[in-house]
Each structure stands twice: as C-alpha cells, then as structure tokens.
Structure 1
Amino acid sequence: MTVRVGVVGGGLAGITAALRCADAGCAVTLLEARPRLGGLAASFHRGELRIDNGQHVFLRCCTSYRQLLDRLGVADLVTLQDRLDIPVHLPGRRPARLRRSTLPAPLHLAGALLRYRPLSFPDRVRMVGAALALRQVDPADPATDAISFGDWLAEHGQSRRAVDALWDLVGVATLNATADAASLAPGATVFQLGLLTDATAGDIGWSRVPLGRLHDDAAALGLHDAGVQVHISTKVRALERTAGGWQLTSEREGERVEESVVDQLICAVPPAATERLLPEGAVDLPRGWSAALGSSPIVNVHVVYDRRVLDTPFAAGVDTPVQWVFDRTEQSGLHRVHSAPAQYVAVSLSAADDVIRTPTARLREQMLPALAALLPAARDARVLDFFVTREPHATFRPAPGTGALRPPPHTRTPGLFLAGAWTDTGWPATMEGAVRSGNAAADAALAPAGAPSGSVGVAP
C-alpha cells in the first residue's frame, strides 16, 4: 500500500522532505501558503530585474544543501571558491583579506589571522589562542547553550575590537545575532564546522542566478517530475488526527478546502505557525515556546549604480554600517535593462533590530555615504535605483538557552513530524540547516512505513 505523505510548507525544508519521501515511493502532497516555493531564499520581480529577497551563501561543508542542488539538477548554476577568500573593507583604508592557506586545519587560517590588519598584533595572537580553545567546546552540551558566546570570548582574552572586527564579521552573518546576544552552542558550531576543523570547509559558494531559479523554478520542476502534488497559495488553517490519518483544512483562493487525508504529516513552517497548528501536547515544550524561541530580523539594502563600484563578488565591512555587500548584477539581469558598466549591489544587514523599522529614506541617507566610504568608485557614481527589503522574522533568535526550545523531528503524536531550520538540527538557521531538517523529518516519517532511510541527495 502506498504511503500518503503531506508536507506543509514549501521552503527548503519542505521541498527536501517532499522529494525524499517521493523518491522513497510515497504519494506526496505539498502545500505552500505563498504563491511560490523557496521560503525566504527566493526571488521577486522589480520591473525587469529579478531580485533575491536576501543574500544567501553556502559553504563547502554544506553538503546536504549541495546534494539538494544536485538532486534538482542545478549544481552548475552555483559557484564555489577554490579557497576561502574574504575581502574586508574599512573606511579610508586599504582592504584587508582573510584567505586560507593550503595547510591543514587549524593552521590554514593562522597566517591570515596574524596578518589581519584591522586588529592590533596582540589581538591577532590572542585570537589564535581563542580559536584553538573553541575547537574543544562541545556544542551538544546543554551547559554550553546556557553561556553567551560573547561572555566566552571575553573570558578567552578577546577584546571588544576583536569581537567587532572578526568574530562578529563571521558570526552575525551566520547566526543572525551578535556574539553578545548568541548562545555559545551555535557560535561554536559555526566556527568549528566552517573554519576550525576542515581546511576546505569554509570555502564560500553562491548562486550565479536568482535564487528563485534554484529554489522555485527548479524545485517546482523537480517536485513535479517526482510525482509530488504541489499546491501553492494554499494556507493550511487546521490539521486533525482521524482514524484514517491526517485531515488538513486549508484556504485556497479564499475558499475553504478539505485536503485529501494523508498517513504521515510533515509540518515545515515557521515556529509560530507550527505552534498554532500542532495538537495540544504534540511537542515536549511549554506553552508559548515559539515566542520564547523568538525571531531575529534581516534587512537588505539594494543599490543600482551607473558604474562598477565593487570589483569582487562580495566583501565584508569593518568600522561601517555595511556588514556584507554583494555584486548582484549578473544574477538580477541588470544588463538587459541598463548597458554596462551599471552595477547592482546589495548590502545584507543581519541581526537588524536597530534598522528593521528605519524608513527607506533614512536608510538611504545612512547607507549611500557608508558605501562611498568603503568603495571609492561609489563616491562619484550616480544612483539609478535604491530600495529596501525587510524580513522581520528571518530566523529564530539563537539566544542562550534557546537550544532547549528547538524540537527534534519526531513529535509525541504518531504520524506527525517537524522540519525547519529552527528545529534541532545541530546547525544555526541556514539553508544547510533547513535541508538537514527536511531530510531528518522525512527519514522519521518513512521509518514507521518500513521505507529505507537516506538523504535527498541520493535518489533510489
């Protein structure tokens, strides 16, 4: 008898879970409230340009996400550095560089850290010692989760300058929280997996096309070819356990719809929506757990200049409001609208509590001078377009103690499973974490049905 699986949510976690179950021979239905797939790692149209909602990169160690790209047949549409190389711009100063060597970890970064000009030499030396100590931290220990990453860094000799100019340079972009506001557990995970264990793990990859090509267009085709029934613009309002399985009630085009009953159900939506949908007692968490887990915003500032101002695919900023800036000219299709040398750059501002409500006009007043201070070519460039995208609830907030609020894929209710980058994946809220959660939920859903376990990257 074919197992019927329902997946609620069409982000990366839901896409992964649906493909995994379909590849195992299940009859899968996926329901997504938005009119597109991909969740927050998606694109939209602004005139003739295709704009990514946010700036997402991945690392060489993001093996599950890269397997998903392989499964969708779009691995050739991304690029991956041969060697970790981060240009670091400072106002009025020559850019610095964080580039790994070919030595084994952790020696591969020693030279880059010791030459890192934004820090004093004593800070550079102390940083090497803290990095070696961080390798020994156990992120799975509940005691680790209770500690602030910032407090741990201070205890290990890291100055305020070192935190601002290097630890947060990497940590804020991956944790969506500053070191002072983050738990040591995800902080240690980020640096151990990406920078301190395998020399090649932190090499950076990015899409050469709009993210919608990967996570919406290709995903829709891949799901269709796998036999998954996909219903977009369909918001699940309620789910009920019945004698025959799970009955979902949804809203589609303003109409109430009772979906076909499924045997297994994977809920892959954000925490607040999950808590609203789950039956009482489905998870071993206190009432209001999603609010306690919290959320952290991301703001993206988009600028189109009449000339090239950034000569690398991306750069990080120190001593500036600009955290990371990306060249999005090719991905957006800008040259179909403006003749060369026009350039479109996007500034990603993570942990953006202080600017999430700042009016666009005010952000323009702040960010254009900041970009001009970092990128000399921007000083005389004419701005052709300026706009802002905001995600008030981009990720969960990885504060100390929140690890206990990240549930596993299994619930207390038979046939009901959870997915999402906010679940207990062992990773922060990243694309890799989302894909890993989808695989974990699918494996949990398949196990009672006697189906084989595995990952979405390897189709049977």
Structure 2
Amino acid sequence: MTADAARPAHAVVVGGGLAGVTAALELADAGVRVTLLEGRPRLGGLAFSFRRGSLTVDNGQHVYLRCCTAYRWFLDRVGGADLAPLQDRLDVPVLDIAPAGGPRLGRLRRSALPVPLHLARSLATYPHLSLAERASVGRAALALKGLDLADPALDDTDFASWLRAHGQSDRTIEALWDLVGVATLNATAPHASLGLAAMVFKTGLLSEAGAADIGWAQVPLGDLHDTLARKALDAAGVRTELRARAAGLDRAADGSWRVVTDGETLDADAVVLAVPHREAHALLPEGALDAPDRLLEIGTSPILNVHVVYDRKVLRRPFFAALGTPVQWVFDRTDSSGLEGGGQYLALSQSVADDDIDQPVSVLRERYLPELERLLPAARGAGVRDFFVTRERTATFAPAPGVGRLRPGTRTRIPGLCLAGAWTATGWPATMEGAVRSGLSAAGTVLTTLGRTHDHPLQEAA
C-alpha cells in the first residue's frame, strides 16, 4: 500500500508516550504527515511530572544507562541530552545495616580496565558479600556472558534457578543480582525470565566497560518528555492532539484507515498503536494478530514511589541503593523539584511493590520513615515537611518466564497497522530504552509499507 502520489502520506500515531512520540518524529522526519493522539492532557506516558504546591514532582524516578543508545538518541532529538547527563563512571553507593547496628557503605563502581576486569576491584571489596560469595560472582558472570540471547529456551527458565545452579547463594542473589535486576526488570530473580535478565546483565555489565554508567534527568521528566518533546513535534510538523482518545479504528476497502476519536474521524494511510497492551488489544481489528488474546496473558508489575521532604539536608549523595530494608533506591530530587524554603526532597523508587502498592499513606509513612532513619543518621530528629506517594499499579509488563512468546513484533497481519510500546518484542525489558526502540521499529515498518526509505542512525537498535 502506498499513498496517493498527489498527496503526502498520512499516519496516525495513537499514544503519546515515548514510543508514540518517537514513531511520530521518525515518520515526520521521513516526510510523512503525522497526527499524534494522546488521551491525557500531556505527553510522556508513565514518565511524567506534575505539580504539588510549589513542587514539580516526577511520578517516579527513571534512569537510563550509557548502553541505552535509542533513548540517548531521543534525548538528542528533542534537545534534552544536556539535561540528563551520564555519570563519568558507574558508581553506585550501596547501604545496609552492619551487624554492629550502624549503616555500612559499599560501592559498585567500575575502573578504567576492560570488561570483565572493570568491576573486579569493586567486587573484591564489596562488604555485603563474603569472600567466597564474591568469588562465586565472577564464575557466574562468565557463564552468563556465554549465554546465547537468541536461544528461546532462556525465556522458559527463571533467573533464580539459573543463578543457584551456578553457585549463587540467596544472599548473593539479594545483595547483587536483585539489586540490579529489581531496578531494571521490576521483578525478583525467581519471577524473571532468564532471557531478559541475561540481556540486562550482558548488555549493561558485560559488553563494554562504560555500558552501565547511569544517567538521570536533572530537570523534571515533564520538561523532557512533554515540553521538549512537544516542541520537537511542532517543529517537525506533527499535529499533536491531547485529550484525544482513540475509540476505534477500521480499514476501508481501498486499504486506508479510519481512526475514530471522541471528536472526529481521521483518515490515514497507516496507523501506529503505541498504547498499553490491554488497550491495544481492545483496539485491534479482527485478524491483526494470529493470537490477539495472548496480549491479555502478559502480566503487569507495580512500582511505588515514596516522596519525603525534610526540613534539612539528610543525604549528601545524589542517590544510593539499600539492602536488608524495604527501601530500595533513594534519589535526591531537591534541585529538580524547585523545592523552596530549604530542606531536602528525597524520592524512593520501590519496584516489585505488590505488598505496598495499595497500602494507605499512613501505613507507608510508618514503614519507610524509620527505615530512612536507620540508613541515614542525619534523618534522625529531622522534621518531615511533606510525605506522599505516587502509585503505578501497572507500571511495567511482568518479565516472567514465558513472556517472550507473548510479546508481538511491530508488524501486524494487516498492512499499514503497527504496534509500539515497551511491551512489544524489543528484546529489552520494560524501560524507556525499549519504548524508544519500539517506536523506531514501528516507524520503519510503516515507511516500508508506504514505499518510503529513511536512513536512521540507529536502525540497528530497532
């Protein structure tokens, strides 16, 4: 199917998260007329900001790694790379409570040595594992490096079983493998596909020395994913419609598409569905996928974010991770939030939050404030100016064993209809990187369908 030569091809992108914005930009850059529909009053999907009094609050803490080449391209494309810098070198402070009762600091940081020696010195002095456990990590890492990510059998195995078979103790899994895996997969090792876990560790820690260097926004996420993204879309000629939710789509006899919204019907030569998988299932025309109900078998996993504003500075690092406590990762968001009147604003990112996601704020306050005082002595006696939570009950797809066979590719069985979203078969877990990759892939498929060519510098990423 190609558009009439007398008029430019028109594509409708449904969904204004990172996947949809990426697809819209890529299509517009290739000369396609694009309409982007987003049901919310903002862009950015689940990586957004909102106002709470004088604070600008991110709904959750999002980070990326140096190996996230597609998301880094996205930041460059919207003009936001300088606002979300990367560490010069991976350096993760890790706190637990020592047997003597006080906080104990370890670090996961890389040296200038090549893989796998770049982490050797850090692991050799990592206080949260015994000498034997540290030695076992190296052997497991070498075995992990040897796995073939294209082997479909990896998807059917859980990560914890593989780790135990390779000499990893429960403590080692908790203090190292899950420290990274929970944050990147939103699942603990027993509930994570070996295929996705291996992809995370091989790509982030065992490919290049700097691959796992961490980057995060120094401004509110909305500045990047909404304000700058909308500016880039406008400059590219994309028509962006907010508060416009697609209610249905149909394919006409001539192969064109009609997208029905609350207020109008749009004719299009191609459609990209860049919405969550359950929403995509509801919109898919009959025959679009061989087994569309498989989308409903893809589970979801929640993330809870706890926000605490103290009346004084209690943390002198930009972030840390924690062990042996309900607290997982803590970030200083004071500057990016615009906090006024002194003090410090900390954001706790709590993945795999099934036990806490529906708890009342009062219960969460009683649970987390004492834990922060255990980890941060300066918090003892500090006044709490504000305490609130944000909840994403379906934050990510669940990366459980077997999920690989449920994730569809970009291309559907109906020409001109493509899927995008971190839940599609990107090879990545549910991350900003996976979302952008899916948008690039969807745009490339649409362009092929329309008979267009557009060389993208990250074609291999899609």
Pick the TM interval, shorter chain: over 0.9
1:227-258 deviation per Cα after TM superposition (whole angstroms, max 9, x unaligned): 0000111111111111351111112xxxxx23
- Tell me whether 1:55 sits opposite 2:55 in the alignment: no
Q: Which residue of 1 aligns with 2:271?
A: 265
**Distance in structure 1 (CA, Å) of the matches to 2:248 and 2:315:** 48
Q: Could you say what secondary structure the match of 1:284 adopts?
A: coil
- 1:66-117 C-alpha deviation (Å, 9 max, x unpaired): 1111111111111110100000011223211111111101110112112111
Q: Secondary structure at the match of 1:261?
A: strand
Indicate whether 1:126 and 2:136 are aligned: yes
1:80 aligns with 2:86: yes
Aligned match of 1:204: 214
Give the alignment's Cα RMSD to 1 decimal: 1.2
2:13 aligns with one of 4, 7, 17: 7
Question: Which 4+ residue blocks in structure 1 deviate beyond 4 angstroms?
Answer: none
In structure 1, what is the equivalent of residue 307 of structure 2?
302
CA drift of 1:139 comes to 2.3
Q: Which runs of 5+ in 1 are unaligned?
A: 252-256
Amino acid at match of 2:321: A
Q: CA deviation at 1:259?
A: 2.6
Q: Aligned AA for 1:291?
A: L
Q: Summarize deviations over 1:152-180 as a string: whole Å, max 9, x none.
A: 00100000000111100000010010011
Equivalent residues of 1:71, 1:456 under 8 A apart: no
Per the alignment, residue 388 of structure 1 pairs with: 389
The yes-or-no answer on 1:350 pairing with 2:323 is: no
Aligned partner of 1:428 in structure 2 is 429
* 8 Å contact from structure 2 (residues 260, 266) kept in 1: no
Among 96, 106, 126, which residue is 1:96 paired with? 106
Q: Is the 8 A contact 1:447 1:453 kept in 2?
A: no
Q: Distance in 1 between matches of 2:232 and 2:67?
A: 24
Give 1:456 deviation, angstroms.
Answer: 7.5
AA of the residue aligned to 1:446: L
The answer to whether the 8 Å contact 2:145/2:206 transfers is yes
Matches of 2:64 and 2:187, distance apart in 1: 18
Aligned equivalents of 2:225 and 2:67: distance in 1? Answer: 19
Q: Does 1:213 align with 2:212?
A: no
Aligned-residue offset at 1:327? 0.4
* Cα drift, residue 452 of structure 1: 1.7
- 2:322 aligns to what? 317
Distance in 2 of aligned mates of 1:453 and 1:88? 45
Unaligned 5+ runs, structure 2: none
CA–CA distance in structure 1, aligned partners of residues 50 and 265 of structure 2: 29
Distance in 2 separating the partners of 1:454 and 1:269: 25
- The answer to whether 1:249 aligns with 2:255 is no
Please give the alpha-carbon distance, in whole angstroms, between the structure 1 residues aligned to 2:67 and 2:176: 20
> For 2:311 and 2:351, how far apart are their aligned partners in 1?
27
Instruction: Give the SS at the match of 1:381.
Output: coil
Superposition TM-score, scaled by structure 1 size: 0.96
Distance 2:123 2:129 in 1: 9
In 2, are the aligned partners of 1:61 and 1:201 still within 8 Å (CA)?
Answer: yes
Alpha carbons 1:439, 1:456 under 8 Å: kept? no
Q: Does the 8 Å contact 2:64/2:215 carry over to 1? A: yes
- Mapped to 2, the partners of 1:455 and 1:61 lie a distance apart of 18
Pair 1:171 & 2:181 matched: yes
Amino acid aligned to 1:247:
R
Amino acid aligned to 1:233: R
Q: Output the CA distance in 1 between the equivalents of 2:149 and 2:306.
A: 33
Q: Residue 286 of structure 2 aligns with which residue? A: 280
The separation in 2 between residues aligned to 1:260 and 1:281, in whole angstroms, is: 21
Write the distance in 2 (CA, Å) between the matches of 1:354 and 1:175. Answer: 17
Q: Distance in 2 between matches of 1:54 and 1:284?
A: 35
Match of 1:36 among 33, 42, 45: 42
Q: What does residue 403 of structure 1 align with?
A: 404
Q: Distance in 2 between matches of 1:139 and 1:285?
A: 24
Partner secondary structure for residue 275 of structure 2: coil
Deviates most, 204-213 or 107-116: 107-116
Q: Distance in 2 between matches of 1:139 and 1:298?
A: 27
Q: Is the 8 A contact 2:103 2:374 kept in 1?
A: no
C-alpha distance in 1 between matches for 2:23 and 2:296: 25
Shift of 1:451: 1.7
Deviations 1:116-151 (A, max 9, x none): 110111010001110111011122211000000011
Query: What is the aligned partner in structure 2 of residue 254 from structure 1?
Result: none
TM-score, length-normalised on structure 2?
Answer: 0.95
Quote the sequence identity (%): 58
Q: For the residues of structure 2 that align with 1:303 and 1:454, how far apart are their CA atoms?
A: 46
User: Do the aligned partners of 1:267 and 1:417 also contact (CA within 8 Å) in 2?
Assistant: yes
CA separation in 1, counterparts of 2:370 and 2:389? 16
